Structures are given as structure tokens and as C-alpha cells.
Amino acid sequence: MKTTVESTLQATTIVPSLTANDLQRSIRFYEGLGFGVEERWEDKGELMGVMLRAGKSRIGLNQDDWKQGRDRVKGVGMRISIATAQNVDEIAASAKSAGIKLQSEPHDTPWGRAFEATDPDRFKLTIYTEGSES
């Protein structure tokens, strides 16, 4: 199969926006990983969503409005990979101290040192040290 690197879209960033069953619980999870809340969106005094920031990267979180049913499955089949120049072992230890259960402890991979976690709505995250030697 031929691989191409040409593209007509020249994106500078991608910001996933995730729907949460319990927005406050999801905010606590991402804060435990080291994200900060950059923006908050409210409607009639009720928090509806946030923009999280970690370095130059962002993830949007919004509260499910339940229009598609309370049993709607989220997160299945999706993984977000987050590269960092920081020490992955220290990030993982900090996340665990914040009560986050890791799906894998930090380990060496062909692309760098990494660990995995799953957010409260089953969105999978891999945090890895970009360009590290394994």
C-alpha cells in the first residue's frame, strides 16, 4: 500500500471536545493529570463546559445534555495520545497521588516512555515522552 505525506489541510492544532456524564468528575480527573481549566462556559449559572489546557495543548469537556439518552456510550474506540518533554514517571506518580487509576504503569515503548489512563467516560489516554530513548 502506498503511503503519502502530502496534504491539502495544514492544521496547526487539533482540539478534541469530549462529552462527559459528570463534568465535575471529569474536570477532577484531567486536573489530576496536570491539566488546568483555561475557560468555563455557563448557562444560567450552570457549568456546561470547560476548555482544559496543558502546555500548548487543549481538550474541551462539555456536560452531556442527555438528548441522546442517558445510556449513550462514550469513549469506546478512541485514544488520545499526549506527548510531553516532561518525566512521564513523575507525571504518572502525581496522577496516582490525585487518585487516578492507571491502566498501565510507565513503560518503555518504541516511541518513548509511556503510561495509559482512562477518563471517567472511558476515553483512553496515552501520555508519553516524545523522542525519548527506550
The predicted pLDDT at position 134 comes to 41
Q: What is the pLDDT of residues 16-52, one digit of tens each?
A: 999 999 999 999 999 999 999 999 999 999 999 999 9
Domains and CATH numbers, the chain: 17-65+74-129 (3.10.180.10)
Cβ contact 22:70 at 8 Å: no
Q: What is the pLDDT of residues 70-81, one digit of tens each?
A: 888 898 889 999
The predicted pLDDT at position 44 comes to 94
The pLDDT confidence band at residue 133, using thresholds 50, 70 and 90, is very low
User: Looking at residues 5-10, what average pLDDT do you find?
Assistant: 78
